[in-house]
């Protein structure tokens, strides 16, 4: 057999998978592992989907997505963040933010172009940059700085080959939610070196006590930003697979070409459901976000009581506590916790594989607290049991 493509074989599968496979063999596991809200989606979305199925909405949509949906997205972004996108040619509906990240990178990268991002990071940025022929340049961040990006470090990492910066805030896995000032500094760097910014704002609705900064609302950012948003997290609709990209027309046209030839369009019924969620689901989202904030407060307090140091993240539904007090590294911690107490978390190393900064990954775990209260309480009991004999 001739060998498989080296760009793909050279990338390792997500570090999360080994533990998920292990957990699947054990009965009664409580999962703080998967990054999705265990919360119902807006009733308006369900009703619209049922009506769409009954009404025989079986056909493809425009490659860009339904125009009424794009109009609703434009209206929502304008009302929420004051940013302006033309539904006709500046918005593309995608199959989740996952597809949007991939086709955005493929639209802007030439072979060998460098892309800067900050670890701990969402697992797909490094691999998708690589698949698109680019070179990931991963910087590190620390708990001391709440895992926020450091503009000076970004500036120092720019070379003649740098093409783009990926920002993903609020952050999966740390929950880091930097202030507007930090983003303004980064936009200045992007302007100075003429870089694209890929801003993955999938957690924009999940912020607590602070306002989300929409990157393209920062002066000087709009023309160089590809803004990504979606329905998986803020609307609890991971399985519906809908995301969107907003960018200047030439970028959207390029992304649409890849989307047209590889996806054709995002699923029609899901587009209809997500439009209904957007237009008629706000109260539901607000109730969910309030519930997540309570879970965060409870969970982070319990982690600290147990001896796992963790500052309260201002966004997402993840906590990223330090486990150094236990004397275990994050992979040992994850495996032993799973076997001893049947609780699944994700080792920090899954989010730090590109920078070579092994310390942060080895000394932290990611916990998704977006699970029903009774499960969260039980998981806390088991986690506390596990930790108390080790700290």
Ligand X SMILES: Cc1ncc(COP(=O)(O)O)c(C=O)c1O
Q: Which residues bind ligand X (CB under 6 A)?
A: 35, 96-98, 122, 168, 172, 200, 202, 230, 232, 238, 243
Least CB distance from residue 389 to ligand X, whole Å? 33
The least distance separating ligand X from the CB of residue 15, rounded to whole angstroms, comes to 14
The number of C-alpha atoms within 13 Å of 131 and in the hemisphere containing its C-beta is 17
d(C-alpha 335, C-alpha 322), whole Å: 16
Minimum distance, C-beta of residue 164 to ligand X, in the bound complex (Å): 16
**Residue 337 CB-density burial (10 A; 0-12 exposed, 13-18 middle, 19+ buried):** buried
Other beta carbons less than 10 A from residue 274's beta carbon? 33
Q: Which two tokens stand for residue 126?
A: 């490094």
Nearer to ligand X, 238 or 358 (CB): 238
Shortest distance in whole angstroms from residue 85 CB to ligand X: 18
Secondary structure (DSSP) of 42-104 = PHHHHHHHHHHHHTT--S---TT--HHHHHHHHHHHHHHH-----TTTSEEEESHHHHHHHHH
Q: Is the Cβ of residue 44 or residue 172 nearer to ligand X in the bound state?
A: 172
Q: Which residue is nearest to ligand X (CB)?
A: 96
Q: Closest CB to ligand X among 326 and 353?
A: 353
**Minimum CB–partner distance for residue 120 and ligand X (Å):** 11
Considering the complex, state which of residue 168 and residue 178 has its C-beta at the smaller distance from ligand X: 168
**What is the DSSP annotation of 88-148?**
TTSEEEESHHHHHHHHHHHHH--TT-EEEEEES--TTHHHHHHHTT-EEEEEE--GGGTT-
Q: Which is nearer to ligand X, 243 or 313 (CB)?
A: 243
* Distance (Å, whole) CA 41 – CA 165: 32
Do 390 and 149 meet the contact criterion of CB atoms below 8 Å apart? no
Tell me whether residue 228 or residue 387 sits nearer to ligand X (CB atom).
Answer: 228
| Contact of 39 with 291, CB cutoff 8 Å | yes
Nearest distance in Å: CB 74, ligand X: 19
Cβ proximity to ligand X: between 169 and 386 the closer is 169
- Min dist CB 65 to ligand X, Å, is 14
Question: Distance between CA 214 and CA 167 in Å, rounded?
Answer: 11
Check residue 31 and report its DSSP letter. Answer: E
**Distance (Å, rounded) from C-alpha 17 to C-alpha 180?**
34
Of the pair 147, 386, the CB lying nearest ligand X is at 147
Query: Smallest distance from the beta carbon of 273 to ligand X, in angstroms?
Result: 14
Half-sphere exposure of 376 (CA within 13 A, CB side): 24
């Amino acid at each position: 057999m001739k060998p498989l493509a080296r760009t793909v074989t050279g990338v390792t599968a997500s570090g999360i998978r080994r533990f998920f496979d292990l957990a699947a063999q054990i009965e009664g596991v409580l999962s703080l592992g998967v990054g999705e809200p265990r919360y119902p989606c807006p009733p308006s979305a369900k009703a619209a989907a049922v009506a769409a199925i009954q009404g025989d909405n079986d056909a493809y949509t425009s490659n860009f997505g339904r125009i009424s949906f794009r109009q609703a997205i434009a209206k929502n972004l304008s009302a929420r963040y004051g940013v302006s996108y033309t539904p006709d040619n500046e918005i593309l509906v995608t199959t989740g933010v996952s597809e949007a990240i991939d086709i955005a990178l493929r639209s802007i990268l030439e072979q060998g172009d460098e892309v800067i991002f900050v670890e701990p990071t969402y697992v797909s940025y490094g691999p998708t940059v690589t698949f698109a022929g680019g070179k990931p340049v991963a910087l590190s961040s620390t708990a001391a700085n709440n895992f926020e990006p450091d503009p000076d470090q970004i500036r120092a990492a720019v070379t003649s080959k740098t093409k783009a910066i990926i920002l993903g805030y609020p952050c999966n896995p740390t929950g880091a939610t930097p202030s507007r000032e930090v983003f303004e500094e980064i936009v200045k760097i992007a302007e100075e070196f003429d870089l694209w910014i890929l801003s993955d704002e999938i957690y924009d609705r999940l912020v607590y006590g602070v306002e989300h900064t929409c990157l393209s609302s920062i002066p000087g950012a709009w023309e160089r930003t590809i803004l990504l948003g979606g329905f998986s997290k803020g609307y609890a609709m991971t399985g519906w697979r809908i995301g969107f990209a907003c960018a200047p027309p030439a970028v959207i046209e390029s992304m649409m070409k890849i989307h047209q030839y590889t996806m054709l369009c995002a699923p029609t019924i899901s587009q209809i459901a997500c439009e209904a969620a957007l237009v008629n689901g706000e109260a539901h989202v607000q109730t969910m976000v309030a519930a997540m904030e309570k879970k965060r407060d409870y969970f982070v307090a319990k982690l600290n009581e147990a001896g796992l140091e963790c500052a309260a993240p201002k966004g997402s539904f993840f906590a990223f506590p330090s486990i150094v007090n236990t004397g275990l590294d994050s992979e040992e911690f994850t495996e032993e916790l799973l076997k001893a107490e049947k609780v699944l978390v994700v080792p920090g190393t899954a989010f730090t594989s590109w920078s070579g900064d092994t310390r942060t990954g080895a000394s932290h775990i990611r916990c998704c607290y977006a699970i029903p209260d009774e499960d969260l309480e039980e998981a806390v009991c088991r986690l506390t049991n596990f930790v108390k004999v080790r700290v």
